[in-house]
Amino acid sequence: MNMQPISPEITAQLQAHIRSIPDFPQPGILFRDITPLLGDAATLRLTIDLLAAPFRAAQIDYIVGIESRGFLFGMPLAYQLGVGFVPVRKMGKLPHRTLQTEYTLEYGTNVLEVHADAIPPGKRVVIVDDLLATGGTAAATATLMEQLGAQVAGMAFVIELSGLAGRAKLAGIPIHVLLSYP
């Protein structure tokens, strides 16, 4: 899988469309808002192209999007790569029989679910979300994929908050990130 660095010009274009909002959702947090990126057609198209690039020759079968912003990037990525899309949702949102896993947040726990028949065993998947922070949600999603018998071929994120060391929870999984903030 080819994960080449992004040029400084492209990085600057993407960063120009990420809004930083201090003290949201609580004091002391600097929130990275992707809505300006979503609203700019050229930058949104560039983002999807960049997310797809390392996976074009990876022979993947599904894109797995994590609720909810992972859906925003996962669906067009699946379309562009010509593969299926599988949503991973918070508990109680999927109508059919599910597999679930509990994971730890900074302030408690949460549960993610996937349909028990979403992916046949042995299929290769790429997990997609907008943000890699502490890695808990991404690691929980990887656990769900293992429960299904799928192989996690990689993960893709628009933004990584590198100071939170989320990559440590994802050891051994190729990770593709467009922007990194300390």
Q: Enumerate the domain spans of the chain.
A: 58-181
* pTM across the whole model: 0.96
β-partners of residue 114 are 99
Nearest to 150 by CA among 177, 107, 111, 116: 116
Q: Which DSSP helix (H) or strand (E) runs through 43?
A: helix 41-52
pLDDT at 88 over 90: yes
Contacts of 115 (CB under 8 A, 6+ apart): 86, 94, 96, 97, 98, 99
β-partners of residue 110 are 103
Mean pLDDT of 105-131: 94
Question: Which CATH number does 58-181 carry?
Answer: 3.40.50.2020
Which residues does the annotation mark as catalytic? Answer: 69, 106
Direct distance between the N- and C-terminal alpha carbons of the chain, in angstroms, rounded to an integer: 25
Proportion of the chain above pLDDT 70, given as a percent: 98
